[in-house]
Structure 1
Amino acid sequence: MIPPADSLLKYDTPVLVSRNTEKRSPKPVRGIPTASSIQIKQQDHTSVLNMLGREWVEDTQLWIQQVSSTPSTRMDVVHLQEQLDLKLQQRQARETGICPVRRELYSQCFDELIREVTINCAERGLLLLRVRDEIRMTIAAYQTLYESSVAFGMRKALQAEQGKADMERKIADLETEKRDLERQVNEQKAKCEATEKRENERRQVEEKKHNEEIQFLKRTNQQLKAQLEGIIAPKK
């Protein structure tokens, strides 16, 4: 028989219950107040201590190990504290943040304290069991919420990365389109400047030609006026 991992909670010697695990009865739920819990309070501490026991299967054999019913002294409590600190150090439990190792060791320590209190007062032990189970349910709820929030955060992060890649592609396309439009604008500016230059040259040529024609017409007019005056003058 290989006992399960060492624990801060004191246990009695393991007992072989069945050699065929398929025939064992369902394991009762421990620590949850029910009608039977009221009867437990009216009896002794043994029923409450049995709720702290553990069981495991080895080679199709079912073993059950109940907690010790030996009362604890002040030195036992001091030793429990020392063992807790030692195991925290040996298993390298983190001092802050979420740490399964630290949670497991403190849970074992709390169960041992419940065992010690239960031996002196079964009602206190049962109430502490209810407190312990409520804490466990609360932690389980927080753990579920944490896992779902992590999954939600991962989905959002992946969506953000995908959206980032899409935006980067869109930005690259817009920059390419911008460069193409700038090139077209420059080409149109060059065409406009060339057209304006040609028009200015053509206007200057037209103006020069027009001025020459005016000057020619003025000279012609002067000549005709002089001839007319020459023809009219003798008649007087």
Structure 2
Amino acid sequence: MIPPAESLLKYDNPVLVSKSTDRKSPKGRPLRVSPQQSADSTPIPPPPKPKSSLTDATKQESEEILNAILPPREWMEGNQLWMQHVSSTPCTRTDVVHLEELLDTKLQQRQARETGICPVRRELYSQCFDELIRQVTINCAERGLLLLRVRDEIQMTIAAYQTLYESSVAFGMRKALQAEQGKADMEKMISDLESEKHDLKKQLNEQRAKCDAIEKRENEKRQVEEKKHMEEIQFLKRTNQQLKVRFYNSIQKGPLDSLITVLLPALRV
């Protein structure tokens, strides 16, 4: 296993925990030795607790809380298991300034984006926030636990947004694939409609040609009929005019002769 990379979170020096070649020795049964007390001996009072015991207990409790908030990291190097606990050394103003400078340096070295989504920037700021939690927890454990709740809430919110983003990307990809499939179907439908349109245009042109031919033939037929009709009218007009002339001529010759002259051609017709 590769040793963990350098972090903005301050750790103590790594400690060798165990080796894979070590074998556990069997536990020996402890010897029970009863102290021999004289009959006239009196119980010895316990020694007075030193004043630093309370401070040590508080420090130990802070370290336990700190290890619970920021658990130690472990890694294998060869056949050896190493462990590194979070530092419990109180910080100063200089440490905070150094942390800010180190954060800016890391952002610049790893070329983190200033805006938008950037995993590198998020990782570095998470390490910086953990370091601030460590510094606050050493001075006030309750304040550190409250910051831990804030950190967990932020991480949960980011995880929810990430899940929503992934689901939206999957939904978009699914819709894109459906759109591609629908695009092929629509292209086929458009091609069929274009072919049908071409056939309908061809039929329309044929029907228009037939209509024009029929209209031309009917116009010619009508012109012939009109010409024939006009000729008949002209013939009848001439006939009428000739009859009028004969009628006037017959009136001048005599009434009976004129009547016979007029009626004979009519009877013949």
With the shorter chain as reference, the TM-score category is 0.7 to 0.9
Q: 1:234 to 1:127 in 2, by over 3 A?
A: closer
Alpha-carbon deviations, 1:158-200, whole Å to 9, x = none? 2223323332332333233223222221221121111111111
Q: 1:153 to 1:235 in 2, by over 3 A?
A: closer
1:49 to 66, 86, 95: 66
The question of 1:101 aligning with 2:120 is answered yes
1:163 to 179, 182, 188: 182
C-alpha contact 2:66 2:86 (8 A) present in aligned 1: yes
Equivalences for residues 1-236 of structure 1 within 5 A = 3-19=3-19, 44-51=61-68, 52=70, 53-58=72-77, 62-216=81-235, 226=246, 232-233=256-257
Aligned equivalents of 1:84 and 1:118: distance in 2?
Answer: 20
Instruction: Give the SS at the match of 1:92.
Output: coil
Instruction: Give the SS at the match of 2:61.
Output: coil
Aligned equivalents of 1:204 and 1:81: distance in 2?
Answer: 107
Aligned equivalents of 2:167 and 2:18: distance in 1?
Answer: 40
* RMSD over aligned Cα atoms: 3.1
C-alpha contact 1:3 1:14 (8 A) present in aligned 2: no
Instruction: Give the SS at the match of 1:56.
Output: strand
Aligned equivalents of 1:104 and 1:188: distance in 2?
Answer: 77
Q: 1:234 to 1:195 in 2, by over 3 A?
A: closer
Aligned equivalents of 1:234 and 1:135: distance in 2?
Answer: 134
- AA aligned opposite 2:190: I
C-alpha contact 1:84 1:105 (8 A) present in aligned 2: yes
Aligned equivalents of 2:118 and 2:210: distance in 1?
Answer: 73
Task: Give 5+ residue unaligned stretches, structure 2.
Answer: 21-57, 261-269
**Shift, 1:49, TM fit:** 1.5
Alpha-carbon deviations, 1:62-92, whole Å to 9, x = none? 4332101111111111111011000001111
Alpha-carbon deviations, 1:107-136, whole Å to 9, x = none? 100111111111111111122112211211
Q: 1:234 to 1:108 in 2, by over 3 A?
A: closer
Aligned equivalents of 1:182 and 1:90: distance in 2?
Answer: 70
Structure with greater Cα Rg: 2
Aligned equivalents of 1:234 and 1:125: distance in 2?
Answer: 149
Instruction: Give the SS at the match of 1:8.
Output: coil
Aligned equivalents of 2:148 and 2:209: distance in 1?
Answer: 89
Task: Give 5+ residue unaligned stretches, structure 1.
Answer: 21-40
Q: 1:195 to 1:2 in 2, by over 3 A?
A: closer
- AA aligned opposite 2:189: K
- AA aligned opposite 1:211: M
